[in-house]
């Protein structure tokens, strides 16, 4: 006669299909991560390119705000240059800062690229930080 414990050990639980369920769950998780990297990563790259273009355009517009060309005291009108650069950034949907050093204008765009799929995993956004520079042309050269 066998003891109840041995009988219990001999009885096997039916575990068929457990590996299939585990595989489907793991594959779904891996697919979500890959989808997030491709989609959200591509979206972040597009946003960085757009931010860089906006920074370059804002820097060029600010560098065009010259003062004193006729009297020989050439320079950039800082108030109108900053306002013009901020206007260009706002039209493009970005915000940033403007730095004017002599005839050089540097525009730094900051923002974020929101994630759609990686948000599920806790990565809500990628940072966007791009810079554009331009130099004001003062003479016919």
Flag whether pLDDT at 48 surpasses 80.
yes
Residues 60-83: tens digit of each pLDDT: 999 888 775 555 677 788 899 999
Flag whether pLDDT at 93 surpasses 80.
yes
Flag whether pLDDT at 119 surpasses 70.
yes
In whole angstroms, give the CA distance from residue 53 to residue 76: 21
Q: What are the two backbone dihedrals, phi and then psi, of residue 115, each rounded to the nearest 5 degrees?
A: -95, 145
Instruction: Read off the pTM.
Output: 0.76
Crossing angle of the two packed helices 78-92 and 18-63, in degrees rounded to 10: 150
């Amino acid at each position: 006669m066998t003891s109840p414990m041995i009988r219990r050990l001999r009885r096997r639980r039916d575990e068929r299909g457990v590996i299939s369920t585990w595989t489907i769950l793991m594959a779904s998780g891996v697919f979500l991560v890959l989808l997030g990297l491709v989609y959200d990563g591509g979206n972040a790259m597009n946003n960085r390119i757009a931010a860089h273009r906006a920074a370059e355009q804002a820097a060029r517009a600010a560098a065009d705000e010259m003062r004193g060309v006729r009297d020989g005291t050439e320079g950039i009108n800082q108030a109108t240059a900053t306002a013009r650069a901020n206007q260009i950034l706002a039209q493009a949907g970005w915000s940033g800062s403007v730095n004017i050093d002599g005839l050089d204008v540097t525009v730094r765009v900051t923002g974020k690229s929101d994630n759609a799929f990686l948000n599920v995993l806790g990565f809500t956004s990628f940072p966007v930080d791009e810079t554009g520079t331009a130099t004001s042309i003062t003479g016919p050269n």
